[in-house]
Chain A
Amino acid sequence: MLGSIVFGLWWIVENTVTNLATQNKSVGFGFLSQSAGFQISTTLGTWLFDYEAGSSTYLDVYYIGIVNTFVVAFFGIFAATALGFTLGIMRLSQNFVLRAFSTAYIEITRNVPLLLQLFFWYFAVLRSLPNRRGKIEIFEGAAGINITGLYLPAPIPAEGFSATMIALAIAIAITMGINRFARIRQHETGKPFPVFWVGTGVLVLIPLAVFLVTGSPLSWEFPEFRETGPILRRGYQDGMGMLIIPEMMSVWLALTLYTAAFIAEIVRAGILAVNKGQTEAALSLGLKQGKVLQLVIIPQAMRIIIPPLTSQYLNLTKNSSLAVAIAYPELVSVFAGTALNQVGKEIEMIFMMMSVYLTFSIVTALFMNWFNSKVKLVER
Chain B
Amino acid sequence: MAKKPTSNRPTRARPGKAQPDKGYVRTEDAPVLPPPPSEAGISGWLWHNVLASCSDFTSIGSAVRSIVMAFFTVFVGWLTISTAWGLFDFAVLSAVWSDPDGIKREACFTIDQGGQLPSGWHGACWPFVAAKMKFMMYGPYDIDQLWRVNLAGIIGLIGLAWVMIEPLPYRRYVGIFLLTVYPLLTIILLYGGGFDVSLMTLSIIFMIGLALITFGRLAGRGLLGETMAAFASAGGIGGWLLVGYAVVMLILGVDYGLRTIDTNQWGGLLITLVVAITGIVASLPLGIVLALGRRSSMPIARILSIVFIEFWRGVPLITVLFMASVMLPLFLPEGVNFDNLLRALIGVMLFSAAYMAEVIRGGLQAMDKGQYEGADALGLSYWEKMRLIILPQALTHVIPGIVNTFIGLFKDTTLVSIIGLFDLLGAAQSAISDVAWATPVQAHTGYLFVAAVFFVFCFGMSRYSIYMENKLSRGRKH
Contact = CB atoms under 8 A, between A and B. Distances in A.
B401 to A, nearest CB: 12
A36 B411 CA distance: 36
A350 interface: yes
Contact of A97 (B52, B76, B429): B76
Contact of B454 (A113, A124, A354, A360): A113
B41 to A, nearest CB: 15
A250 to B, nearest CB: 13
Contacts of A336: 319, 322
B444 A124 contact: yes
Given A127-B443, A319-B316, A357-B319, A115 B330 contact: no
Interface residues of B, number: 59
Nearest to A95: B53
Interface in A1-24: 1-2, 5, 12, 15-16, 18-20, 22
A95 B331 contact: no
Contact of A350 (B77, B300, B326, B432): B326
Contacts of A124: 443-444, 447
A11 to B, nearest CB: 8
B203 interface: no
Given A19-B330, A19-B334, A114-B411, A332 B447 contact: no
Nearest to B314: A361
Interface stretch (A51-59, A134-142, A213-221, A321-329): A321-329
A309 to B, nearest CB: 16
B387 interface: no
B73 A98 contact: yes
Contacts of B417: 115
Given A19-B329, A111-B459, A346-B326, A332 B318 contact: yes
Contacts of A361: 310, 313-315
Contacts of A321: 316, 318-319
B79 A112 contact: no
B455 A318 contact: no
Interface in B299-324: 300-301, 304, 310-311, 313-319, 322-323
Q: Which 8 A-B pairs have the closest CB atoms?
A: A361-B314, A96-B49, A111-B458, A318-B316, A113-B411, A321-B316, A113-B414, A115-B414
Interface of B: 45, 48-50, 52-54, 69, 72-73, 76-77, 79-80, 84, 234, 300-301, 304, 310-311, 313-319, 322-323, 326-327, 329-334, 407, 411-412, 414-415, 417-418, 425, 429, 432, 440, 443-444, 447, 450-451, 454-455, 458-459, 462
13 contacts: A19-B329, A98-B72, A100-B80, A110-B458, A113-B412, A115-B417, A116-B447, A116-B454, A318-B317, A322-B415, A332-B322, A347-B327, A353-B319
Interface of A: 1-2, 5, 12, 15-16, 18-20, 22, 90, 93-98, 100-101, 104, 107-108, 110-116, 119-120, 123-124, 127, 318-319, 321-322, 324-325, 332, 336, 340, 346-347, 350, 353-354, 357-358, 360-362, 365
